[in-house]
Amino acid sequence: MGRLLVLVVLVVLAVWLIRRALRAPTERIDGPGKTEDLVRCAHCGVLLPRAEARDAAGALYCTEEHARLGPGPR
Which domain covers residue 44, as residue numbers?
2-69
Q: What is the distance between the alpha carbons of residues 4 and 19, in angstroms, rounded to a whole number?
A: 23
User: How many domains does one find in the chain?
Assistant: 1
CA dist 16 and 8 (Å) reads: 12
Average pLDDT, the chain: 85
Assign 72 a pLDDT band (cuts: 50, 70, 90): confident
Q: What is the pLDDT of residues 24-55, one digit of tens each?
A: 555 455 556 567 889 999 999 999 999 999 99
The answer to whether residue 31 is domain-embedded is yes
Phi, psi angles (nearest 5°) of residue 44: -110, -15
In a domain, 13, yes or no: yes
Res 61 pLDDT > 90: yes
Q: Is 62 part of any domain?
A: yes
d(Cα 48, Cα 36) in Å, to the nearest integer?
A: 10
Query: Within a domain: residue 7?
Result: yes
Is 61 within a domain?
A: yes
Note whether residue 32 is domain-resident.
yes
pLDDT recorded at residue 33: 59
Residue 74 domain flag: no
Q: Does pLDDT of 68 surpass 60? A: yes
Does pTM surpass 0.85?
no
Cα distance between residue 60 and residue 28, in whole Å: 30
